[in-house]
Structure 1
Amino acid sequence: MVDALNTLSPNPIPRPWDTIRSLALTFVGKWEDSFGPAQSAFCLIPPNVTSLQLHLPRYIYTRDARDIPLHLPHSILERLTSFSISCDWDGNQLPMVLQHCVNIEDLKINFKNDIDCTWYDSDDDTTQGYIKSGLVLPKLRTLCLQKARPWALNILRLLKTPILTSLALEFSRNEDDVYDHSFPKTLHNFITERLGCVRTFRRLHLDSFEFEEGVLKSTMRALPSITHLTLNYPKVHSSIHSWAPLILSELYASNFHDPSGLLPNLESLQLLNLDPMVNFSPSIHDVSYFLNSRRKFDKTKNWADEDVFIGPPDTLKELVMTFQETRRYSEHKLDLAPAFMGTYKSFA
């Protein structure tokens, strides 16, 4: 079909195909594209495409994938503002493609739950240069890494994103053991060193992640400008047995009157799919403590067993908490508890 569309006409007339701006390409089975760039099927991509979705075949169907180039025309890559790629190949294909995406604003990378996918050759001279100085995506605002294993996120070591506003990291939930001790450091270094826009960064979404106690808090300290935080299927490991609500305790300062605080500009917090069966699941008392920690209050003016807050109102406008499905109580009165009523009165 594409060959037919590309047939030369004695009287060239603009075709609907040439005006396409959004294109999705899905390849399955054996990879059969030409090794020569001039004969590559990618050369037939319409010239006006600005949004491209590329789904490549699985590594097991692609022999010697490490050495297979992706002949995406530089002119197409330079025009893209949105790019989504799904691939579990080893090799330097990704950085070789991204280096030409100078106008990209939205980037999604799907790792397909691959255990060993590294996405780049650390011994390659070009890659070494990106590790040292960064592969700059000057206009990137939204970055989403999907179906990843923590060690695959070393790709963050390559990227430099000076105006990034939103980062989503979605780990695989299909594997029992996805915890990797190097991931928190990789994320922290990306935020503090590679991001280059700590003051303008706004949104962070972490899906199915695991941290040691204290690591998430350290990461949040590096993001004072964040306004929207979503934690889906979170797990926090404690070095000692604790009944403390570890998830919420990672989101406020230990010192109740810490003037700097954590997440001072937070407007929306979503804690999704919490495990209600573990002993550190947040209760209404924990939520009340978290909310109180975000505002200064004066107990010397307390005449009715209520907190009297001083200073400006909290920036937090939305708090969403959901739990994984479990057996439902036949009856409860949690919404009548004093802690809930006090929280509702102070923050509703």
Structure 2
Amino acid sequence: MELHEPPPRTRQPEGCLTVAIRVPLRIVVLVLVVPVRMAWDVLVATGRFLRDTVLRLLGRALLWAGTALFVRPLAGLWRHALVPVGRALARLGTVLVVVPAAWVYARVLSPVGHAVTWLLRGIATILAAAGNGVCTAVTWLARYLLVVPARWLYDRVLTPVGRAVARCARGLGWLLGMIGTGIGVALYGTLRVLLVLPALALWRWVLAPVGRFLAVVAYEVGDALGHAWRIAGRISRAVGRALATLFRWIFVEPLRRVYRTVLTPVGHLVRDAVLRPAAEGARVVGRAVREALAGARDTVRQARADLRRMLFGDPGQPAPVDRRELQRPATRSLGSSTTALTKD
């Protein structure tokens, strides 16, 4: 299967105004952006160095300090003080409040509530019966004293008057609509001649060309800033690499050579001539001190035993106990002399 590559993008022909704006604008923007990009790269490198060397260690130290000073004490306070106190208060509240309240509810309030409910139900039943009669009488009086006269008044008087008023309102609305339409047409023609046509001419012959010019300038400024930022980044990287190489040649390499040729042999010499003999001597001294302490402990233990023997005498020796198993009698056989026939 053949892969069809997309056709190359054709650049639109550019006018002389665009080219005349682009070249000097890019030069000026590059001169202005290079110091800003170099300062930005320096700040980024400094921030990374501080983050890796100072802020991370400071954060770990603050985390450890916060854990040691706040988290662990608060956790211990919660676990060993607040939780037992809360449990004790809960038990005390259960004994002093919940149990008496439950007893009062079950033994006092519930019977009183049932009695009051029964009494209110009886009163409500009586009132409902009386209310039904009163409502029936009031409904009959309201029907024949209010509803029937109001319906006759609506059908015979208000409906014809409302229809006449509606017809008058529709005629007045049509007349006002015609007057408003004429006034609107006249105002539209006047405003179109006085405002719309001049504004359209201003937009077409003044504002649109100026806007296109400003759009071209803004696009070229943004494009120039992008090119300048990228070129400044390359320049900044080149300058940084040159400074890093110079720093390595001036400081790092001499220090490395001094470390390899001077400090490492001196360190090995100090280790072999001083530190190892000192460590061996320290081990010998430590061994002698441990042996001396062991001898002193044995001496003190013997002296304490002698003193106890002088004061209380020798402890009695326990009687020996024969822990051997009991021997069972030998099994009788024909050759044994324990039988009655072979017994002497």
TM-score past 0.5 threshold: no
TM-score by length of 1: 0.13
TM-score by length of 2: 0.13
Q: Whose strand proportion is higher, 1 or 2?
A: 1
Q: Which has the higher contact order (CA 8 A, sep 6+)?
A: 2
